[in-house]
Chain A
Amino acid sequence: MLNMSTRKSLRLQSRGDTTPATPIHTNFYSPRLRSSVKRNLNSSFGASEQEPLSPTKVLKSGSTPAKGQKKNEKITLIIDKKNMTCRPLFYYESSESEDDCVAKSRILGKRKVKYPAKYTDVYVSPKKTVRGIEELHFTPVKNKLLEKDVFNDGSKTPKTPRNSSKKATPRSTIKQIREGTITPKVQSRIKAVELNNTPLKMARSQLHVSYIPTDLPCREKEHEDILSFLEGKLLDKCGGCMYISGVPGTGKTATVTSVINHLLKAVKTGEIPNFQYVNLNGMKLTEPRQAYVEIVKQLTGKTVTWEQAQNTLEEIFTKKAKKMKLPIILLVDELDIICTKRQDVVYNILDWPTKSITQLIVITIANTMDLPERLLMNRVTSRLGLTRLTFQAYTHKQLQEIVTKRLFGTNSFNPDAVQLVARKVASVSGDARRALDICRRAAEIAEVEGDDTLVTMSHVNEALKAMITQPKVRAIKNCSRLEQYILQAVISEVERTGIEETVFSNVYKMLVSLCAVNGFNSVSCTIALRAISKLGACRLLLVDQKCHDVDERIILNVSPDDVYYALKEE
């Protein structure tokens, strides 16, 4: 109860308190308070005994209602490390240290604006260490976060800090993450993974999309184009842009990454000047402006707000630097996501190469070929330039070559099976990921029969069936009788009226007569509606949720032929 009221009064007081270095009343610290401070600090520090006593709480002392007293007070807490006891000393601060105190508070105040925080901040300031005794300075500082620790009323007991048992506060962790001192990591496993001892397992791991071969087959020409472009720009020491397009799964990002790796190797031998590589993916950003943050993070390792990041980048690229900086290669993946209505981010990214002091080469990747003309403004398109490259979808021969190259060293696949996969995939999308996934699935199916089976056409057929076929016919076959009658009723209603959209009341009429014909006990509207909503949930029917029950609009979402086919076979 006491604590609650203390805090409330504190909040009230601190609101009026604007000057950081507030004069403190002489009678402020009563003997009773002193003991309570001691108790409080003991408890708070005692809990974190294992740590060195470096983190010191910078406590803000609230203003007192006293009038006219302008003396500053500095509290020094003497902590004996051996006994873990605190002994606060109070004395009047001399006038010189007042400036010091104000300066510090300014720094703190500024910092606070930058990082609006919700949690108690630990401010580390071990001032002096004399014979194992640390002096902790309790300077009056404006810090809203520490309000609960403020002692402003001598008659009340201050509250014990709640988070005293934690080693590092989450705020400090966030700060460290932002500064890049904490490396992100995932938990490591205890047991090691199984080895790829059988040929099928080895084939499977090599067929995985994440397995990247040393050189990409069938993309030699594109590789050469990008390499010559980048090399030329690096050797000429000028900036430039390039736009790469192609449907997903045609090896755009993989080719560019392999070119960069190639260049990095060339740097080591000294053939070309050193450069920095920044890699950006539009889909990995929460909003387009985070692109600035990501670039700055990859250049400096620090996370800042996007406004600051933009300023930093402007400075790097447009203002004359003191020393020559390294050229930068910037890869922007999924460019269409970064395009907003204003297109300021895209404009900036493409504008920097033209006016840059620091050499900047931008490579942009997107799916559609005509994206610059369709989506981008004229001034952006003009800056993007005409250096463009299109990745065609893989043909079946190329897909076959990719899969065969990956399987090099294992003889677990029948060449005909690989060809079947390549032809099937090339006819649909020409997506390399799809071909690899199907081969992997086929290997899994073969593995059920034994570790050394050869993957044949039948396995591949099964995998293709599982991954490409439509499930609708099977779904209709597995509906209950009532649901099948409803589908039939919808079809006959559509045929009767000639309009695709039907209404429940008409479907119900049709359903009743269908049931009578088939010798099925008629159902009530409630049951029929329930069945229709079930069919709507798995999207065999499209149901308009907004309309009321009887004039619910219903559209068939499968072709009538599928329904006939599914129901005829019985």
Chain B
Amino acid sequence: MKNLSDKNIINLRKFLKNNILNNTDFMGQENERQQVYDLLHRTITSGESNSALLIGPRASGKTTLVNNVLGDLQRFFSSDAVLVKLHGLIHTDDRIALKSITAQMNLENAVDGKVFGSFADNLTFLLACLKSGERGVSKSIIFIIEEFDLFCSHHNQTLLYNLFDVSQSAQTPICVLGITCRLDVIELLEKRVKSRFSHRQIFLFLGNDNDNHLDQRLERLQKFLLISNHQSLDITPAFRKQWNSSVNTLLQNRNFKSLMQRLLDLDLSERSLKNILLLVVSELNDHNNKLSYDTFLKQVELFERDETVQVLQDLSVLELCLIITMKHHCEIYDNQPMNFEMVFNRYLKFANANSNIQTVERPVIMKAFEQIQNLELISALTTGNSGVQKEYQLFKLLVLPHQISEAVKKITGLPTEVTQYANSSLV
């Protein structure tokens, strides 16, 4: 347990974590945000029916943008509009989605969130309801559909057809806003659904079409880490000043900048940055009350490390020897699949040639082989019980040669024979 007696540092950590995790304000891409805002605003205030798709890679702030816009439009939702949110992973078929729509629109056949009647009943009733409404009299309904591409795989695309059809006919004003990460989502739509969709696509890209990503990233970091004066925190002004200056010096550091550039090169999204920041902030304590370049470097290295190498390092010497044997087999026979017998024979040659290597029984080696299989370092070519004995089942190695040599280098206390065996396949 780390010593956390200082109240300042406790409050600071709490504030920083909260700021990193629950930061909902939307940065950049003002143009796209304005488009979404206009679309929803027009649907609500002038009763126009619309449909649009918000497309962008994962972690590009699509949901954040929509939530931000909806927050701005909050004042309308009690009087002029109804919000219906659907999610492709939750509403896995039209039946469930329809029940959820009925409940969220609070129609007559829903009581306290429970919907009655069959699927056909619900659809007919919903369509009749939407048909009864008209522009200017009834409330606008806003459908936010997350993971839109999953709705395209529903039977006949009935729900999408009906929603788009309502948006293109003189009925209740609705706005259908789909959110997805697939760029080719339009090709998933059936031709009549596609014809009814208004083809308004709003793209949200991480790069934002400009090149000074690093400056943006540093600015963002400043927003996450600096404590401004007007925030009511139980931190003494002296400590705050000290903290802010330390953050500023860190952000000016050249090594730190190149580290951030490296992170940007790997991944433009803010999510990886947030994960690393959270880990760094968690390490703050009484003795270590400043952010340093070294802690960042440590976390980035952890982020970049190879997980397979990590697994290989934890193997026993016998298991590692078997892996090396498999590597040799792959090198000699050009990635041909192998079975236990082949590996066993090759391993025996090695064990017999070196008197220092302890000879072990065949069942023990079999056990080690199964352990390797369970770790998914090798995978069977045929799945299920194909009637082949387990000694003769064919396998493929899932480890690349450079990963093995890297692991061998990192393990300390490995017998010299094994290291030599790893480097040459001539036994």
Contacts and interface: CB of A to CB of B under 8 A. Distances in A.
Contacts of B205: 474-475, 478
Interface string A268-290: 00000000000000011111001
A567 interface: no
Contacts of B195: 248-249, 429, 431, 433-434
A527 B161 CA distance: 40
Contacts of A480: 206-207, 264-268
B283 interface: no
B398 interface: yes
Interface residues of A, number: 87
Interface string B169-197: 11110000000011110000001101110
Interface string A374-397: 000000000000000000000000
Interface stretch (B8-16, B20-28, B123-131): B123-131
A548 B398 contact: yes
Interface string B184-225: 100000011011101111010111110000000000000000
Interface string B97-121: 0000000011111010010110111
A173 B399 CA distance: 64
A531 B208 CA distance: 19
A482 B106 CA distance: 48
A430 to B, nearest CB: 11
Given A209-B168, A249-B195, A471-B183, A187 B139 contact: yes
Nearest to B308: A525
B106 A538 contact: no
Given A173-B116, A248-B191, A521-B262, A437 B198 contact: yes
Interface string A550-561: 110000010000
B128 A184 contact: yes
Contacts of B135: 193
B227 to A, nearest CB: 30
A341 interface: no
Contacts of A248: 191-192, 194-196
Interface stretch (B47-55, B320-328, B415-423): B47-55
Contacts of A187: 82, 105-106, 138-139
B184 A482 contact: no
B267 to A, nearest CB: 6
A429 B211 CA distance: 38
Interface in A178-202: 178, 182-194, 196, 201
Contacts of A433: 168, 195-196, 198
Given A505-B400, A525-B306, A210 B49 contact: yes
B139 to A, nearest CB: 5
A437 B49 CA distance: 11
Contacts of A505: 400
A290 B308 contact: no
B319 interface: no
Contact of A189 (B80, B108, B132): B80
B182 A539 contact: yes
Contacts of B116: 170-171, 173-174
B323 to A, nearest CB: 13
Contacts of A521: 262
A540 interface: yes
Contacts of A530: 267
Given A193-B45, A471-B55, A531-B267, A524 B306 contact: yes
A539 B108 CA distance: 42
A189 B140 contact: yes
A107 B183 CA distance: 59
B142 to A, nearest CB: 13
A477 to B, nearest CB: 7
Contact of A303 (B58, B124, B170, B200): B124
B38 interface: yes
B38 A444 contact: yes
A287 B95 CA distance: 12
A206 B268 CA distance: 43
A467 B108 contact: no
Interface string A513-547: 00000001101111100110010011110000000
Contacts of B94: 286
B285 interface: no
A534 to B, nearest CB: 6
Nearest to A480: B268
A211 interface: yes
Interface in A118-166: 166
A524 B207 CA distance: 23
A538 B209 contact: no
A191 B58 CA distance: 38
A479 B268 contact: yes
Nearest to A119: B116
B306 A367 contact: no
Contacts of B399: 550
Q: Which of A182, A201, A293, A478 has the most CB atoms of chain B within a 10 A radius of its CB?
A: A478
B305 interface: yes
B295 interface: no
B209 A539 contact: no
A526 B49 contact: no
B132 A183 contact: yes
A471 B184 CA distance: 9
A482 B267 contact: yes
A441 to B, nearest CB: 7
A523 B200 contact: no
B396 interface: yes
A537 B139 contact: no
B305 A477 contact: no
B156 interface: yes
Contact of B121 (A192, A303, A550): A303
B64 interface: no
A209 B55 CA distance: 24
Q: Which of B49, B140, B181, B195 has the most CB atoms of chain A within a 10 A radius of its CB?
A: B195
B129 A184 contact: yes
A114 interface: no
Given A184-B128, A523-B266, A525-B403, A192 B138 contact: no
A525 B400 contact: yes
Interface string A320-356: 0000000000000010010000000000000000000
A186 B130 contact: yes
A262 interface: no
Contacts of B172: 186
Contacts of A205: 48
A290 B120 contact: yes
Given A187-B106, A550-B399, A283 B183 contact: no
Interface string B305-320: 1111100000000000
Contacts of B262: 521
B208 A478 contact: yes
A191 B80 contact: yes
A565 B256 CA distance: 33
Given A177-B108, A286-B123, A367-B191, A188 B168 contact: no
A267 interface: no
A11 interface: no
Given A170-B116, A186-B129, A186-B138, A482 B196 contact: no
Which 7 A/B pairs are nearest by Cβ-Cβ distance?
A478-B207, A248-B195, A524-B306, A478-B205, A184-B128, A190-B79, A184-B129
12 contacts: A185-B133, A187-B106, A189-B137, A193-B46, A193-B136, A248-B195, A284-B161, A286-B123, A433-B168, A438-B199, A467-B199, A482-B265
Given A478-B268, A480-B265, A480-B267, 18 more contacts: A171-B116, A174-B121, A184-B128, A184-B132, A192-B136, A210-B171, A367-B191, A367-B192, A429-B195, A431-B195, A466-B200, A471-B55, A474-B203, A523-B266, A530-B267, A531-B267, A537-B58, A557-B184
Interface of B: 38, 45-49, 55-58, 79-82, 94, 105-109, 111, 114, 116-117, 119-121, 123-125, 127-133, 135-141, 156, 158, 161-162, 165, 168-172, 181-184, 191-192, 194-196, 198-201, 203, 205-209, 262, 264-268, 304-309, 376, 379, 396, 398-400, 403
